[in-house]
Amino acid sequence: MQAVIGNARAEWRRHYMVPIAALLGYATSVIHIYGLGPYIQPISDSFGWSRTQTTIGLTIATLIQAVFSIPIGLLVDRYGPRLFGLIGILLTCVAFALLGTASGDKLQWYGLWIIMAVATLPVQATIWTSAVATRFEASRGLAFAITLCGASIAATLFPLLGTWLIGAYGWQTAFVIQAAIWVAIAFPVIFLFFRGAHDKQPKSAPAREARRELEGVSLAEGLRSFIYARLLLASLLFTFTIIALVVHFVPILANLGADPLKAAGIASLVGIFSIAGRLATGLLLDRFRGSLVGAAVFLLPALGCAVLLTAGDGFLGQAFAAALIGLTLGAEVDVIVYLTTQHFGLKSFGGLYGGLLSALSIGTATGPLGASVIFDAFGNYTPFLALTIGLMLASSLALVSLPRPVYAKN
């Protein structure tokens, strides 16, 4: 144990800025997902669209991402993640700003989301986690947790920032300002500090760090595994529900009687608690069996939905539900990416995680749209919250059934 702790400290001394830079990159990759919530109602009101029509663009974008997740992962395995990250940050922020040019023409709106989809391909989670995986072993769970806190930062800041900017400048200008603010924050840090072991190293870097972890199964072996199938199922079911909850959380609270600014404030608790959830999950993953940790935390949003169904008309119930959802939003991707390294190693990590990212993307694409369809059909979110409880229970069972991992470090 002392040796593991010593190795973890050494990793952090050498590479502490890599997870921080990756955190900002991962936050950028979800700006169009976690940042969309405040824009849904004003866009729908401006153009007379249903919420399904407004959010279907997100479905288009994430389905395109799902198609290209494995190819992008294979390219990262071959060329390293740095170049993808640098280009992708700029493209993603420009594409987000372009959403503000929407004119009410549905074909134009779908076209803008296709641009968004292409722009986000170089910033998907594979890029950021791949670099971190090659820099950390003894403290990989915590390093992943810090990296994936990018989504927590996004869920905390983007709804509040978007709501404030919309109120001050209108939703079209708000898209542009929000994108400009974020690229000014994220790009310099990523440019200076984001570099994985597979990237071209500065001349001063020790040669021993390059490609030091290549153990693991081939892509074909991983894809044929029943373990991989269970990870795919857990990824799909859970992301379908958790992303829909996050995207629609402000409208869900508004439907329960909260005013828009109060709803945005309560929704920010999702992001705040997701930071604690990610860090706690990362520490637990470094110490306990990952599948059991994941199965436990995947149950928390089911409890949150039950709270919304039974006590969601009051502030305390809404805040408690936001906290429970946030604790798991800080865990689901962390668990999946960590289990991928433990069951399959790093040899084909980019390609295998790219496949899981396809499932995550399909869930992201269909979940918010499914919630919109349910709301349009029933006039409330009650059936969606009930469905969410069942799907989260199923995803938890898929994880708890996993065997002990082959490539665990201890």
- Which residue type, as a one-letter code, is found at position 150? G
> What is residue 132's DSSP assignment?
H
- Which residue type, as a one-letter code, is found at position 305? C
Pull the structure tokens for residue 309.
């169904």
Residue 205 in domain: no
Q: Give the CA angle between residues 250, 251, 254 to the nearest 5°.
A: 90
Radius of gyration for the chain, computed over Cα atoms and rounded to the nearest angstrom: 20
Residue 342 in domain: yes
Rounded CA separation 161/144 (Å)? 26
Helices of type H across 330-381: 332-344, 349-378
- Which residue type, as a one-letter code, is found at position 205? A
- Within 10 angstroms of residue 386's Cβ, the number of other Cβ atoms is 13
What's the rounded mean pLDDT across residues 358-374?
84
Query: What is the percent of the chain with per-residue pLDDT over 70, rounded to a whole number?
Result: 94
- Would the pLDDT of 186 be above 60? yes
DSSP letter for each residue of 155-184: HHHHHHHHHHHHHHH-HHHHHHHHHHHHHH
pLDDT tens digits for range 272-290: 887 888 788 888 888 888 8
pLDDT tens digits for range 39-87: 988 999 999 998 888 888 888 887 888 888 888 888 887 888 899 999 9
Residue 5 in domain: no
- Within 10 angstroms of residue 104's Cβ, the number of other Cβ atoms is 11
- Would the pLDDT of 207 be above 50? no
pLDDT at 153: 84
Mean pLDDT, all residues of the chain: 86
pTM: 0.72
Instruction: Provide the 3-class DSSP secondary structure of residue 211.
Output: coil
pLDDT tens digits for range 80-132: 889 999 999 999 999 999 999 999 999 999 999 999 999 999 998 888 988 88
pLDDT at 174: 96
- For residue 80, give its domain range: 15-198+211-400
Residue 319 in domain: yes
**What CATH number does residue 366 fall under?**
1.20.1250.20
Where is average pLDDT lowest: 17-21, 181-185, 233-237, 344-348?
Answer: 344-348
- Would the pLDDT of 210 be above 70? no
Instruction: Provide the 3-class DSSP secondary structure of residue 210.
Output: coil
Residue 176 in domain: yes
If one compares 189 and 247, the residue with the highest pLDDT of the two is 189
- Would the pLDDT of 1 be above 70? no
Where is average pLDDT lowest: 46-50, 209-213, 313-317, 393-397?
Answer: 209-213
Residue 249 in domain: yes
Helices of type H across 248-299: 249-255, 260-285, 290-297
pLDDT at 181: 95
- Would the pLDDT of 208 be above 60? no
- Would the pLDDT of 204 be above 70? no
* Phi then psi dihedrals of residue 345, to 5 deg: 75, -170
Number of separate domains in the chain: 1
Residue 228 in domain: yes
If one compares 407 and 128, the residue with the highest pLDDT of the two is 128
What's the rounded mean pLDDT across residues 22-42?
91
Contact, 19 vs 146, CB < 8 A?
Answer: yes
Residue 406 in domain: no
* Phi then psi dihedrals of residue 170, to 5 deg: 90, 155
Contacts of 136 (CB under 8 A, 6+ apart): 11, 15, 19, 142, 143, 144
